[in-house]
Chain A
Amino acid sequence: NAGVTQTPKFRILKIGQSMTLQCTQDMNHNYMYWYRQDPGMGLKLIYYSVGAGITDKGEVPNGYNVSRSTTEDFPLRLELAAPSQTSVYFCASSYFSDPTDTQYFGPGTRLTVL
């Protein structure tokens, strides 16, 4: 199993551009999450999904959109990129029958908006 994979690893955007961060998991996990990590801080939840077709907002959803058309994929869309969205983005997944809902993370995408 590859676990949780994310592409790209790095990206530089200009203000106002858009992009999609890709996330795929091959563990048949129901739940998937997007976090952002700003310098010197812990991770903050952007959006999450409890299954295909179901998504919901986390703590910091503004400026982002998500979709979940399959169990495996959970892309994060940035529309009209702003410098405040410069961050490292992590995708994670977990299995609904795990009582601790332990989340497994991808390697992250470092995004810079100039």
Chain B
Amino acid sequence: AQTVTQSQPEMSVQEAETVTLSCTYDTSESDYYLFWYKQPPSRQMILVIRQEAYKQQNATENRFSVNFQKAAKSFSLKISDSQLGDAAMYFCAYRSSGGSNYKLTFGKGTLLTVNP
């Protein structure tokens, strides 16, 4: 079974600075998808960024980018120019690409605080 580990329960960053959230996963599969979701105090789960494992290029979405290291099974999220609205719980998630496995496997989350 796949597992997702987020080793940082909490992180903090100053407004306008850069922060990196860590995520590692364990899988025997070669093709899969990885996601970062943001959960603000409203509890809504919001997709931040996604990465297809067969793509070498790291995904980027505006101020959010990932460092995907397939061999190391690492998928970190970098937030540049942090804003107060980035404060939230961030979840890393894994999904198999094939068969009938529709399950997203989530890590336990990292609580990000942004200081003004």
Contacts and interface: CB of A to CB of B under 8 A. Distances in A.
B16 interface: no
Contacts of B105: 42
B78 interface: no
Contacts, number: 60
A90 interface: yes
Given A40-B108, A107-B43, A101 B103 contact: no
Contact of A102 (B50, B91, B109): B50
Nearest to B104: A103
A41 interface: yes
In this complex, the interface size class of chain A, counting residues with CB under 8 Å from chain B, is: 20 to 34
B47 A99 contact: no
Contacts of A59: 103
Interface string B18-59: 000000000000000101010000111111001010000000
A88 interface: yes
Contacts of A48: 102-103
B106 interface: yes
B4 interface: yes
A99 B52 contact: yes
Given A31-B102, A42-B4, A102-B35, A108 B43 contact: yes
A102 B47 contact: yes
A110 B47 CA distance: 21
Nearest to A59: B103
A58 B1 CA distance: 13
B91 A42 contact: yes
